[in-house]
Structure 1
């Protein structure tokens, strides 16, 4: 394949722009905000689970407290009715009086026990409330951090994408000046060679594979016509000659 030396040198400009696009894509994928957001998302998920557990405990203990307080009220009301009967003087049988007094005493003990249970449940409920409040505040803080990280990521992505759009436009303009067959070969080699299809021959070294040409290879390149499209014997990339090639 033959191509004017100027067209071959223009190929290096296209290659430089392709390298820049690859660098921008890598930078886009490896933004530190991506890892930060993933970490924050994991923390948020864990924090939400903890908050749900605390809120569930808060709700459960609230129901327990209501039920225990109702039990206390029932015992208190029963004791009040018994005391009222005792005080009314309507119960005259010694046996009935003894039974009634015994029940009042038993109900008093039961009320004490139930009130102790209520206090224990209240303590657990208050602890759950405090825990839920603490977790809610922590979650809000994490959500703020996540929103900030997302805003920074989006700003960085907009900047990268804007530069990439500019480079793609420049690349398209540069590619139009290169003969179709040379550009096709370059594209094929670029796909095969990890994104680099053309490299400068600099001081007898291929800038694609970074290997120096041996004397035989140098002589072959030196003897090639100026418009001949030379390939590196090591990496098979298009080897572009310039005044700095050391020939």
Structure 2
């Protein structure tokens, strides 16, 4: 039997309880969530909005909430996330110091790109911290870089249940271009006004465990600067790969 901690943080408890309800039940409306938690509708709405922001929930067209990508069943990543984060952070910070744009580290889990570390740029207009979020891998730049390293069979297996949501032949063509170039682009696919360049961390054996992206407001994206960003990403991913090697 678990006892409630003596100094429980009520807002955290409500958020976790709500996440559990979303995972266990088909859907919830704001009024239902408020009733289940014993809070006001405004409080329930704020909690749900935060869960949506962190991808624990999604809102349907009928304004009801369902479990988001983080809570849905899927193939868990085999990447040692804590080791990846520890090895990558100094190099992400160095990348941001030189390029002044936000850098992200992500891993692949099923068909989702999970953001496990994020370092924000220092410009006033910048892409915010994405750590803890999950995005469709076939849309995110780092996700596409990781998908491009999969065998045709594994790619087909991951998207076997995607139906019309993902145009697999088109995705295969795009991933072939990613392999040829060595990097992937996300030009407003996951968020309007955001452009990102992604590259997988090199791997000696098998598919890479992680990818790095450099994300910026689309207004600042310049294709003439793309070679510079790609070179910076290449140096960063190589440095991370070296940091992950057994000493």
TM above 0.5: no
The answer to which structure has the higher strand fraction is 2
Q: Which has the higher helix share?
A: 1
- TM-score band w.r.t. shorter chain: under 0.3
State the TM-score, normalized to the length of structure 2: 0.21
Q: Determine which structure has more spread, i.e. the larger CA radius of gyration.
A: 1
User: What TM-score do the two structures reach when normalised by structure 1?
Assistant: 0.21
